Structure 1
Amino acid sequence: MTAKPEITQRDLRSRSREIMDAVEHGESFTVTRDGHEIAELIPLRRRPRFVSRQQFAAMSRNAPGIDIETFRADQDAAADHEMISPYDR
């Protein structure tokens, strides 16, 4: 594990755009105040929002089959079929 560059709280405040751009591009920092480490600034791990058709097909290969009638019966059993308006009280 490589050491994260240290930045002071003051640096973070005065160079926030530059530092956030670096974080957006994968860099991490340790934030210090009065010489003490107080936080780590790390990029979020983002999952891809969409998967390709090939990825979806590969992920679906081992999925169990679905019996549509059983699925509908499960949905009907779980659904509240009685519509109640929050305004009719």
Structure 2
Amino acid sequence: MSEEISQRDLRLRSREIMDAIERGESFTVTRDGRGIGELIPLRGRRRFVSRTEFTAAPRIAAVVDLERFRADQDATVDTGVEDPYAR
């Protein structure tokens, strides 16, 4: 659950609040007692994927109907070749 802070509090304590966000805390910013936004820490990029996660990926991937996919491509892509300089 995130802590509620007023817009004014954010303005007056911005450094302290940003430090808290950097530590992983979240805040809901309010104006006139109404929530207007959230301040949340960014997720860090993962650089390493374990072998277990890598081998499990195809099992949880969406199933693609190749015939339907190809039909969608054919319906969308213009396969005609035109000379752009022809008049």
Instruction: Please classify the TM superposition score into its range, dividing by the shorter chain length.
Output: 0.5 to 0.7
Quick one: which of 20, 23, 37 aligns to 2:21? 23
Q: Which runs of 5+ in 1 are unaligned?
A: 63-89
How far residue 61 of structure 1 moved from its aligned partner, in angstroms, is 6.0
Counterparts in 2 of 1:28 and 1:60: CA distance versus 1, 3 Å: closer
Quick one: which of 46, 51, 54 aligns to 2:48? 51
> For residue 64 of structure 2, what is the aligned residue in structure 1?
none
Cα RMSD over matched residues? 2.2
> For residue 41 of structure 1, what is the aligned residue in structure 2?
39
Q: Which runs of 5+ in 2 are unaligned?
A: 57-87
Counterparts in 2 of 1:5 and 1:60: CA distance versus 1, 3 Å: closer
Quick one: which of 9, 12, 29 aligns to 1:11? 9
How far residue 47 of structure 1 moved from its aligned partner, in angstroms, is 1.7
Counterparts in 2 of 1:60 and 1:26: CA distance versus 1, 3 Å: closer
In the superposition, the TM-score normalised over structure 1's length comes to 0.53
- Equivalent pairs counted in the alignment come to 56
State the 4+ residue runs in structure 1 displaced beyond 4 angstroms: 59-62
